[in-house]
Amino acid sequence: MASRVDAVLKKLPDQLASIESEYTRDLAAKQMSDDLLHDIARLIEDCQRVLDWTATDLDHRFGKAVDRSPYFGMG
């Protein structure tokens, strides 16, 4: 059984291809669509989710530290 990280990582190339296609379409129309904005946000969320899961898995494997969070920071 594939890990949750692998499952999300497997989908990223398809998500990116869809974004590139939508971007090309929207560029020609000179208007950014709601679909493109949503798909970009979803790609970013999925990438952050993979980083969070990886950090949490490392935390579980190697022990927690009081000076860090097991979540990937955004800022």
What confidence tens digit (pLDDT) does each residue in 2-34 have?
Answer: 699 999 999 999 999 999 999 999 999 999 999
Residue 59: Cβ-neighbour burial (10 angstroms; 0-12, 13-18, 19+): middle
Alpha helix segments (H runs only) across 1-75:
4-29, 34-62
d(CA 74, CA 47): 12
Which pLDDT band, with edges at 50, 70 and 90, does 75 fall under? very low
**20's tokens:** 């590139």
pTM of the predicted structure, to 2 decimals:
0.80
The answer to whether the CB of 49 falls within 8 A of the CB of 7 is no
pLDDT at res. 49: 92
